[in-house]
Amino acid sequence: MKHQRLIWLLAGLVCWALALAAIRQVWFQRATDPTWEQMRASGTMRVCMEAAYPPFGLLDAAGNFSGFDVDLARELASRWGLQVEFVNLHFDGLYDALLADKCDMVLSALPYDETLTEDVLYSPSYFNAGLLLAVRQDERRIRGVNQLGGKKVGVELGSAAELEARRHLEQGRIPLHIVTYPGAIEALTALRDGEVDAAIADSVNVYHFTRDPGGIRYVKRFLSDEQYVIALRPGSGYTWKRLADEIARLTRQGFFKTLQARWF
**Which residues are near another protein by CB under 8 A?**
50, 52-53, 90-92, 113, 115-116, 156-159, 162-163, 166, 180-183
* 77 vs 161 by CB, closer to another protein: 161
How far apart CA 92 and CA 106 sit, in angstroms, is: 12
Q: Which amino acid is residue 114, in one-letter code?
A: E
| CA nearest neighbour of 243 among 114, 106, 141 | 106
* 14 vs 163 by CB, closer to another protein: 163
CB of 118 to another protein, least distance (A): 14
With helix as H, strand as E and coil as C, how does 218-262 read? EECCCCCCCEEEEEECCCCHHHHHHHHHHHHHHHHCCHHHHHHHH
* 57 vs 250 by CB, closer to another protein: 57
* 60 vs 138 by CB, closer to another protein: 60
CB of 116 to another protein, least distance (A): 8
Q: ∠111-114-118 over CA atoms, to 5°?
A: 115
CB of 223 to another protein, least distance (A): 16
CB of 129 to another protein, least distance (A): 10
How far apart CA 73 and CA 66 sit, in angstroms, is: 10
